[in-house]
């Protein structure tokens, strides 16, 4: 029996050290596997003297049970300690402060474009878009702008090639051309977007924003133009009454042409829109020139209408009390945090969502 005792002592000493699960499984198969130490003891039963056999077998069984118990409890111990270690490592400390949640802001220009679009969509205008890189034809020629017109000058326009065939659009008016070329009248669209001119000071930036308007149908006259713009201005500034005047002007693509001013006054160093006897120019407009309609294959004896171009940045500055245009494009996070809008805020004029 001393063999068995030796096996047990050896096992006990091995179990004292820290074992991994695979090490203990190895020990288990060394003992109880097909040719394991314990299994080979069982093979001895047949060859042992009969007088000894019963005692040997019973002692062998007892020790086998003991060894198995020892191994099983060691396995249990290892598994439990692995679980404990995992729990310790993966525990969540709910007393830690939360991570800061940074929510971006909507730029005042984007907010203003949304407001303008929703006001015009209320009265049947749909929204069109055009590219920033335009052809000279769409930007000037098709809009009845002659070759010698000052707007074509290099000092004003960013040309993109030597031949002056491609340029950064100087206004949103080429979207009128694109819209009328791809469809048949009537047209009732607005087109907000970026525009570019070689100009930079406190009130001019080389990139700025305009929204174009175009309404072409049968029997459209200047009264419609006045009614439409008057409605828009009142809605945009959220005022019941607003002083507005049409001043004769000139644009190659409209005849007659006008610029629109709104009344304002200064109160405590702040600009107040709608009252007073000062005038502020906010847009250009007119009745679309017959030559423009001919260029896009619309018969000017059957269809006519009005167009307008509004400076979006100027409107945003007036409505939200921002006095330096350049700040719009500085990308200063602190400025945007102050003047920007929360993403979930519904613009005051945006009726679409609340319905």
CA-to-CA distance for 174 and 5, rounded, in angstroms?
101
Chain residue at closest Cβ approach to ligand DAH: 309
CA-to-CA distance for 132 and 135, rounded, in angstroms?
10
Q: Which of residues 250-269 bind ligand DAH (CB under 6 A)?
A: 251, 254
CA-to-CA distance for 167 and 158, rounded, in angstroms?
6
Which x/- pattern over 209-248 shows residues binding ligand DAH (rule: CB under 6 A)? ---x------------------------------------
CB 190 within 8 A of CB 125: yes
In angstroms, give the least distance from the CB of 266 to ligand DAH: 26
Per the listing, tokens 């350049």 go with 326
The number of C-alpha atoms within 13 Å of 116 and in the hemisphere containing its C-beta is 27
In angstroms, give the least distance from the CB of 214 to ligand DAH: 7
In angstroms, give the least distance from the CB of 180 to ligand DAH: 12
In angstroms, give the least distance from the CB of 197 to ligand DAH: 9
Q: Which of residues 148-177 bind ligand DAH (CB under 6 A)?
A: 171, 173
Q: Which of residues 295-334 bind ligand DAH (CB under 6 A)?
A: 307-309
CA-to-CA distance for 25 and 72, rounded, in angstroms?
10
Nearer to ligand DAH, 171 or 314 (CB): 171
293 forms part of the interface with ligand DAH (CB under 6 A): no
118 forms part of the interface with ligand DAH (CB under 6 A): no
CA torsion sign, 141 to 146 to 148 to 150? negative
CB 265 within 8 A of CB 272: yes
In angstroms, give the least distance from the CB of 181 to ligand DAH: 16
Q: Which residues contact 151 (CB under 8 A, 6 or more apart)?
A: 140, 145, 157, 170
- DSSP assignment, residue 172? S
* Count of positions on this chain that bind ligand DAH (CB under 6 A): 11
In angstroms, give the least distance from the CB of 130 to ligand DAH: 13
For ligand DAH, the binding residues (CB under 6 A) are 171, 173, 212, 251, 254, 284-286, 307-309
């Amino acid at each position: 029996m001393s063999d068995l005792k030796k096996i047990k002592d050896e096992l006990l000493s091995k179990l004292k050290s820290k074992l991994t699960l695979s090490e203990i499984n190895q020990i288990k198969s060394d003992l109880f596997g097909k040719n394991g130490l314990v299994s080979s003891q069982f093979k001895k039963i047949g060859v042992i003297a009969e007088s000894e056999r019963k005692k040997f077998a019973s002692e062998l069984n007892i020790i086998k049970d003991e060894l198995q118990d020892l191994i099983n409890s060691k396995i249990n111990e290892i598994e439990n300690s692995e679980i404990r270690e995992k729990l310790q490592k993966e525990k969540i400390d709910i007393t830690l402060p939360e991570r800061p949640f940074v929510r971006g802001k909507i730029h005042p220009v984007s907010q203003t474009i949304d407001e303008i679009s929703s006001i015009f969509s209320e009265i049947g205008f749909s929204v069109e878009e055009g590219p920033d890189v335009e052809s000279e034809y769409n930007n000037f020629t098709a809009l009845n702008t002659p070759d010698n017109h000052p707007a074509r000058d290099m000092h004003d326009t960013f040309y993109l090639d030597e031949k002056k065939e491609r340029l950064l659009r100087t206004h949103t008016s080429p979207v009128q051309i694109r819209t009328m070329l791809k469809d048949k009248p009537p047209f009732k669209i607005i087109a907000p977007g970026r525009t570019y001119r070689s100009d930079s000071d406190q009130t001019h930036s080389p990139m700025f924003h305009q929204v174009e308007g175009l309404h072409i149908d049968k029997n459209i006259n200047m009264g419609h133009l006045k009614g439409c713009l008057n409605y828009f201005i009142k809605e945009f500034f959220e005022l019941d009454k607003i002083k507005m005047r049409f001043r004769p002007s000139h644009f190659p693509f409209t005849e007659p042409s006008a610029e629109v001013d709104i009344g304002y006054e200064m109160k405590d160093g702040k600009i107040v829109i709608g009252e007073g006897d000062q005038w502020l120019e906010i847009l250009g407009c007119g009745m679309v020139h017959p030559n423009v309609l001919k260029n896009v294959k619309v018969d000017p004896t059957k269809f006519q209408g009005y167009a307008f171009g509004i400076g979006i940045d100027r409107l945003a500055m007036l409505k939200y009390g921002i006095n330096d245009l350049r700040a719009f494009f500085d990308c200063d996070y602190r400025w945007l945090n102050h003047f920007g809008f929360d993403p979930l805020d519904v613009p005051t004029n945006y009726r679409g969502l609340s319905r």
